[in-house]
């Protein structure tokens, strides 16, 4: 799939009344772009940060993120879960309030692959019309910029395939290509497992029924349990296990959270 360029993003934002950037409540800053916000502010558009997948994060932590963005960054943020249908009404109300001031409302939706843009559109519409990512799924399952009518007078512009160049690191590595094509899945999954183990050790135990602080040992356990072995030597296929972990993470099956920068917590769940 073709990647959207920043110039194309500018054109979409110019036509929008609200710019909504979707990140995950698990790690908002690792997924947030300064570019989208910057262009929105340049065009004097309302900018809204949507913290999706809040079902994977304790409520008070979600609230802290909202407060952090409001007081440290002057950003209006809202916590939602498209799975648990949390915050959807509140989000719709934000759109309805803005609709009172315009004839018809265009909301431009941005966010890295798999943050849940399509799921959010479906939750707002109350029925599925935006394709979400099934597995074996590929990155950028949603094809091309598409406009969805979610309520009378309210249109959402979905922009799949945009990876802002200021967002970097593990989140980009695992989202910017299909999981099958990730070059070294074991390395990526090891980094991911280390991060989750550091902040929410128990969620790995819950997801994979293995108590270990060694990522390689966890991958071995998953491979053996699921019967994945290399044909050539019969060793556990940790590459397949690594891909499974990455997919589970993207699919929102691993509880994990980081806390806002200002606050130091021992946040084991
Ligand atoms: N736990 C949890 N998982 C979610 C939530 N919203 C979406 N997901 C899962 O996240 C994955 C990605 O969701 P999509 O809606 O396809 O994400 P997208 O941003 O449209 O992805 P692309 O179209 O590939 O850019 C899917 O497996 C969803 O089921 C949520 O609120 N909580
Ligand atoms: Mg999509």
* Contact present, 51 and 66 (Cβ < 8 Å): yes
CA 170 to the chain's CA centroid: 13
Band of pLDDT at residue 128, cut at 50, 70 and 90: low
Rounded to an integer, the average pLDDT of 41-53 is 97
Total-model pTM? 0.92
Domains and CATH numbers, the chain: 6-158 (3.40.50.300), 182-250 (no CATH)
Shortest-distance atom of ligand 1 to CA 22: 19
Band of pLDDT at residue 84, cut at 50, 70 and 90: very high
Does 200 contact ligand 1 (Cβ within 6 A)?
no
Q: What's the 126 CA to ligand 2 centre distance in angstroms?
A: 16
How does pLDDT run across 146-189, given as a tens digit for each residue? 899 999 999 999 998 889 999 999 999 999 889 999 999 999 99
pLDDT on residue 1: 55
Q: What's the 209 CA to ligand 2 centre distance in angstroms?
A: 31
Query: Encoding tokens for residue 110?
Result: 């941005």
State the Cα angle at 142 between 138 and 144, rounded to 5°: 125
On average, the pLDDT of the chain sits at 91
Tell me which of 28, 132, 140 to substitute to probe ligand 1's pocket, judged by most ligand atoms within 8 Å of the beta carbon.
132
Does 122 contact ligand 1 (Cβ within 6 A)?
no
Buried b or exposed e, range 54-71, using 16+ CB within 10 angstroms: bbbbbeebbebbbebbee
The Cα–Cα gap between 235 and 64 comes to 45
Does 26 contact ligand 1 (Cβ within 6 A)?
no
Shortest-distance atom of ligand 1 to CA 121: 15
Q: What's the 113 CA to ligand 2 centre distance in angstroms?
A: 7
H or E stretch including 66?
helix 59-73
């Amino acid at each position: 799939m073709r990647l959207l360029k920043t110039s194309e993003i500018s054109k979409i934002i110019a036509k929008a009344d609200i710019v909504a950037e979707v990140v995950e409540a698990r790690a908002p800053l690792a997924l947030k772009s300064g570019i989208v916000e910057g262009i929105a502010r340049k065009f004097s558009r309302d900018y809204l940060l949507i913290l999706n997948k809040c079902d994977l994060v304790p409520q008070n932590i979600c609230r802290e993120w909202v407060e952090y963005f409001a007081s440290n960054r002057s950003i209006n943020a809202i916590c939602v879960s498209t799975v648990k249908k949390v915050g959807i009404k509140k989000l719709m109300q934000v759109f309805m309030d803005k609709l009172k001031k315009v004839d018809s409302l265009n909301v431009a939706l941005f966010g890295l692959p798999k943050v849940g843009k399509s799921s959010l559109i479906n939750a707002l519409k109350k029925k599925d019309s935006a394709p979400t990512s099934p597995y074996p799924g590929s990155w950028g399952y949603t094809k091309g910029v598409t406009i969805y009518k979610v309520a009378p007078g309210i249109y959402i512009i979905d922009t799949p395939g945009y990876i802002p160049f200021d967002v970097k690191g593990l989140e980009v590595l695992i989202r910017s290509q299909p999981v099958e094509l990730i070059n070294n899945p074991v390395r990526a999954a090891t980094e991911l497992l280390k991060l989750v183990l550091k902040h929410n050790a128990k969620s790995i135990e819950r997801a994979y029924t293995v108590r270990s602080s060694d990522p390689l040992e966890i991958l071995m356990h998953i491979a053996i349990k699921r019967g994945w072995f290399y044909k050539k030597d019969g060793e556990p296929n940790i590459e397949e296990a690594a891909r499974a972990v990455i997919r589970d993470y993207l699919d929102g099956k691993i509880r994990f959270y980081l806390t806002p920068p200002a606050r130091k917590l021992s946040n084991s769940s």
